[in-house]
Structure 1
Amino acid sequence: MDQAKQHTKGNRLKVLGRLLKVVLTTSPWMLIVSVITIILAAGSAVIGSLFIERLIDTYVTPLLHEKVPNYGPLLNAILVMFGIYAIGFISNYLFSMLMGVLAQKVQFRVRNETFTHMESLPIAYFDQNNYGDIMSRYTNDIDTLMQMISQSLPQFLNSALSLIFVKILCPDLSITIVDSLGKRLKFLDELINDLSLDKVTLVHSRAEDAGQNKNLREKFDLVTGRAVARMSVLSEYCIPLAKVDGYLVALKGPKAQDELVEAKNAIEVLGGRVEEVKELTLPDTDDERTLIVVKKVKATPKKYPRQAGTPNKKPL
């Protein structure tokens, strides 16, 4: 069983490596520009959020106590904030457009290469495989790869960089990043070392295993996850890691109420209670998001999280 799992894991890493190679060789300049715009978008989002606090404390509050307010510094600060969000808006637009175009280019290339390869296969292959299975690989499987290129990879990079920027701007903050894929953690490790950041811990583990690790279980004030799983599954991944009186903040897309209703039992069983559901629109875009804030009010039963893979297959 262990050998089969290792074999499957090895195949997945090989497929991911081949896919990234195809993306890089299809349009290197487009990929490089996309990464730069993602970095700018993540940085401007974090800096903009922190700048608002500084704007209020440094510029707005003192004006309330002045008999003859001088609005010049405030105006300059507002212009700076506008510039920060303008950079974020342009960067978000560019990387969304570039990744969409790049995904289409890769899709066209992969489908052509797949079709060319299929033409060279012997007739016996088509006799032994259902027509529907063959077409599924040619259409559905390739569409899934394109979704990974245009959405999943940029979302991961954006989230990871946002954490790094938060750490840079809040050096006293202690951050632990859990990921099951070693290559992503290797990239983050190199980035953390290059930036000389401390109090950042990288853990190579599945979320289910991390939740049963005594060094991680119920150790964190705040746990968050983005683009990971539905709320019922995400709760079992994250709530066991939070301290009692700690929080899970789930970053969801628009109209997450259905997920929340589905996850009600899971949240209660795991010791959580929904504190707030906040719907918002990302600055300078029309993209809608939902923040679900869950407070942990009691310890999670020891049997949760369950064995790796179970929460996704059999949600609470």
Structure 2
Amino acid sequence: MTTALYETLKPYLEFLHLQITQEEFNSLEKMRFEMLSDSMYKTFSTIFEPEEYALKHVLDSLLPLVFSKEALKGKRVVDLGTGGGFPALPLAIMLPDSKIMAVDSRKKSADFVSKIAEKLNLNNLEVLQCRIEDFGQDFLYREQFDIVVSRALSSLSVLLEFSMPLLKKGGQAIFYKGPKLDEEVSEAVNSMKIFGITPENMSIKRFSSEQLPYERNFFIARRMKSVPKKYPRRPGIAAAKPLC
């Protein structure tokens, strides 16, 4: 394996003890090629340089595997607000026994991710164009997922309202966050109370500057109590009037 993707990721994967097979690398490399060859890619990202793509799209998408790989294996996972397919596409490559769903309200996003998934033969990835608020009120999806992930969608308070209704009891939400996570946690006290998030069923995972060339934090929470039927509220309300 001598591709730019491999050479960029290798030291970080070794440091994080994250193993990737030759076949998985080949699929990740093909994903990069297919994405960058598609004119729609620029709609979702300004990252074209190989090293930056490897770190900010591929490695970043795979970070939950560092601390929750066993929890993700063979499970039903949904990526809320998938955008250009991150982290849904890399996770689908790395978790062939899991059922991954990528949800986005934009038709362009759903079409793009579907196209890339088809070219990669990712039969374990389903793509849905839908407002997240409507998705969470649909009986086909409410309380049906083991894991909810979201990478760059909204504030912590809004994410809790979006994700908790989708999780089975004991299911886990994994939110990608940046340097302002502690501030978001402070602002989401009321939201956490509503959805039963306590120190006993939540945790924060921080990646240091020694582990990554950028700051990345994760907020992780389990749904342990029933979610009132009124959540998530109608489209647009969670963002306009957050519960915090």
TM-score bin, normalised by smaller chain? 0.5 to 0.7
Q: TM-score if structure 2 supplies the norm length?
A: 0.66
Distance 1:161 1:297, change over 3 A: closer
Native 8 Å contact 1:239 1:272 kept in 2:
no
Aligned equivalents of 2:63, 2:174: Cα separation in 1: 20
Native 8 Å contact 2:143 2:166 kept in 1:
yes
Aligned equivalents of 1:298, 1:243: Cα separation in 2: 10
Please give the root-mean-square deviation of Cα atoms over the aligned residues, in Å: 3.1
Aligned equivalents of 1:293, 1:161: Cα separation in 2: 18
Native 8 Å contact 2:102 2:128 kept in 1:
yes
The Cα shift of 1:167 comes to 1.4
Native 8 Å contact 2:83 2:104 kept in 1:
no
Residue matched to 2:119: 194
Aligned equivalents of 2:170, 2:139: Cα separation in 1: 18
Distance 1:196 1:264, change over 3 A: same
Distance 1:47 1:289, change over 3 A: closer
Give 2:206's match in structure 1, choosing from 243, 264, 279.
Answer: 279
Aligned equivalents of 1:48, 1:301: Cα separation in 2: 31
Q: Which amino acid counterpart does residue 193 of structure 1 have in structure 2?
A: E
| Residue 304, structure 1, aligned to residue 236, structure 2 | no
Q: Which amino acid counterpart does residue 219 of structure 1 have in structure 2?
A: Q
Aligned equivalents of 1:248, 1:51: Cα separation in 2: 15
Between structure 1 and structure 2, the one with the greater Rg is 1
Aligned equivalents of 2:62, 2:102: Cα separation in 1: 21
Aligned equivalents of 1:296, 1:303: Cα separation in 2: 16
| Percent identical | 30
Which structure's relative contact order is higher, taking Cα pairs within 8 Å and 6+ residues apart?
A: 2
Give 1:262's match in structure 2, choosing from 152, 174, 187.
Answer: 187
1:8-23 maps to which residues of 2 (within 5 A)?
Answer: none
The Cα shift of 1:45 comes to 5.5
The Cα shift of 1:202 comes to 1.1
Give 2:48's match in structure 1, choosing from 34, 40, 50.
Answer: 34
Q: TM-score if structure 1 supplies the norm length?
A: 0.52
Aligned equivalents of 2:129, 2:119: Cα separation in 1: 20
Residue 307 of structure 1: SS of its match in structure 2? coil
- Paired positions, count: 186
Aligned equivalents of 2:118, 2:202: Cα separation in 1: 37
